[in-house]
Structure 1
Amino acid sequence: MLSDRIKQARQLVALSQQQVADRMGVSKTAVFKWENGHYEPKNLDILANILGVSLSWLREGRGSPFPTIATLLPTEVNIVAENQDETQVRFYSSIEQAGTVRSKQSHIQHCKKISLRTELLERKKINPHMVVCFPVNDNSMEPIIPHGTIFAVDLNRTNIIDGNVYLIKQNHQYRIRKLYSMPYEEVRLHAFNTKEYSDVCVPADQIIIIGRVFYYAVEL
């Protein structure tokens, strides 16, 4: 049933009913009613995008919940580990390419591969197909995270855990920021470089959380 798939998809991406409601511009009660079969959402395409699932799966139960990511994987990227200690994941040359990985244009972007420890992915229960890596070339997170740091982001983790670092889209730009949930449905964006980047509080619906950073490394 549609109601079951909505609830399943929401839980798969670890979003609360309130978070889905905020992004859809409806009440939490509306989401509750969707998941209990009282009525159906009007904009299933928008809901599918928010939940990161296939519209055909959400509407009719056809195919896999996450076919988009799998079909966008370039042929040169092999998610089979060369050995049991390492797993291959996607590596993009810029934060913009990584941020738009879900878009229809992603399949034309050149994508390399990078190895992460299999133990790390398994311990954090991360699906390698839902990981994107990329370097960040700005100073907003210095001195804690210097210019040139390579980030690994789990696209499945979009729920806010206060103090965690996320890849977000704000005002058509992609950024790495610490996030904090605030009263009145706002989110505080924190950059480590407070001399140049002050904390700002914005309405939750003015940012898109692409995923949570679970690992970063600095090339020396």
Structure 2
Amino acid sequence: MDTSNRIKQRMQTLGLKAVQISKLMGVSKGTVSQWVNAVSKPSGGNLVALSQVLKCDPDWLLSGKERDKPELNSGWSGSVEVWNEGDPLKEDEVELPFYTEVKLSNGNGSVVNLDNHGAKFRFSAPLLEMQGVEPENAACIVVSGSSMDPVLPDGSTTVADRGDTSIKDGKLYGIDHSGMIIVRQVFRVPGGGLRLKCYNGADYPDEIVVGESLKNVRILGRIVWYSVIL
């Protein structure tokens, strides 16, 4: 069984069609069709995103083999390893800080900080390397609310590459929007503006940010990984 057949197998098991995968991943239907028809294979961030949509291991998609579960301390297997504060990191682990919203003392709005003194997220160093992310550029963002349902439900943890802030249409980005931390699909619009898209478009319509409003939007980094607990 090759990669395309494994993709089709998972699509059939989950009842997904190419157009649904296209929308969930933010890639064209033609790209998904190429994967399904063995014209090309997913790689890099697309491989990770596809494996998350298909709820399987990316190594299995490519080769039919899965990594040993102990190596996936925070990966897509859904396994959780208990550890205590102060426990030494393993050779294949790094600790990632979280972005946090900090309320201003006068009560007017908030600012976004990278919290280097609070909670940490233990993550797979090989997975960051596979994505081409330098460990010092990786940080976590927790999704709040239902705007990114059903792909990123409330409480989902994402990892952003702070070294990648250039917009690639349809990719997911962590954003500081007027002091609020959000995750959105981002598209460029004529005139240098941005379109911020939620997966839950029925309740959260697209937001077009242009002109002076762009000053209120700061791209924190491209989302390279996410974890969902159902």
CA drift at 1:135: 2.0
CA distance in 1, matches of 2:113, 2:131: 22
**Cα gap change, 1:153 to 1:118, in 2 (>3 Å):** same
Give the structure with the higher percent helix: 1
1:213 aligns with 2:218: no
For 2:163 and 2:156, locate their aligned partners in 1 and report how far apart those are by CA, in whole Å: 21
Aligned-partner SS, 1:162: coil
Alignment of 1:72-91 (within 5 A): 82-91=89-98
- Of 183, 186, 190, the match for 1:183: 190
Report if the CA contact (8 A) 2:156-2:226 is conserved. yes
d(CA) in 1 for partners of 2:158, 2:135: 14
Report the Cα distance in structure 2 between the residues aligned to 1:173 and 1:113, rounded to whole angstroms.
20
Distance 1:96 1:138, change over 3 A: same
Rounded Cα–Cα distance in structure 2 between residues aligned with 1:111 and 1:130: 17
Which of 112, 115, 134 matches 1:100?
A: 112
As a proportion of its length, which structure holds more strand?
2
1:117 counterpart (121, 124, 149): 124
- 2:150 maps to what in 1? 143
Deviation at 1:160, TM superposition (A): 0.3
Deviation at 1:148, TM superposition (A): 1.0
Matches within 5 A, 1:166-177: 166-177=173-184
CA distance in 1, matches of 2:181, 2:120: 21
The count of corresponding residues between Structure 1 and Structure 2 is 135
2:126 is paired with a residue whose SS is helix
Gaps of 5+ in 2: 1-84, 103-110
Q: Give the secondary structure class of the aligned counterpart of 1:121.
A: helix
TM-score (norm. length: structure 2):
0.52
1:8-65 alpha-carbon deviations (Å, 9 max, x no partner): xxxxxxxxxxxxxxxxxxxxxxxxxxxxxxxxxxxxxxxxxxxxxxxxxxxxxxxxxx
Residue 71 of structure 2: aligned partner? none
Q: Secondary structure at the match of 1:90?
A: strand
SS at the partner of 2:113? Answer: coil
Q: State the shift of 1:91 in Å.
A: 3.7
Query: How far off its partner does 1:121 sit?
Result: 0.8
Q: What are structure 1's unaligned runs of at least 5 residues?
A: 1-76
Per-residue deviation at 1:162? 0.7
- Provide the C-alpha distance between the structure 2 equivalents of 1:91 and 1:199, rounded to a whole number of angstroms: 26
Query: Paired residue for 1:42?
Result: none
Instruction: Give, as a single letter, the amino acid of the residue that structure 2 aligns with 1:219.
Output: I
Which amino acid is 1:166 matched to? Y
Query: 1:153 & 1:114 partners in 2: Cα distance?
Result: 12
TM-score, scaled relative to structure 1: 0.54
Matched, 1:129 2:136: yes
Q: Aligned-pair distance for 1:180?
A: 0.5
Percent sequence identity is 29
Equivalence for 1:156? 163
3-state SS, counterpart of residue 114 of structure 1: strand
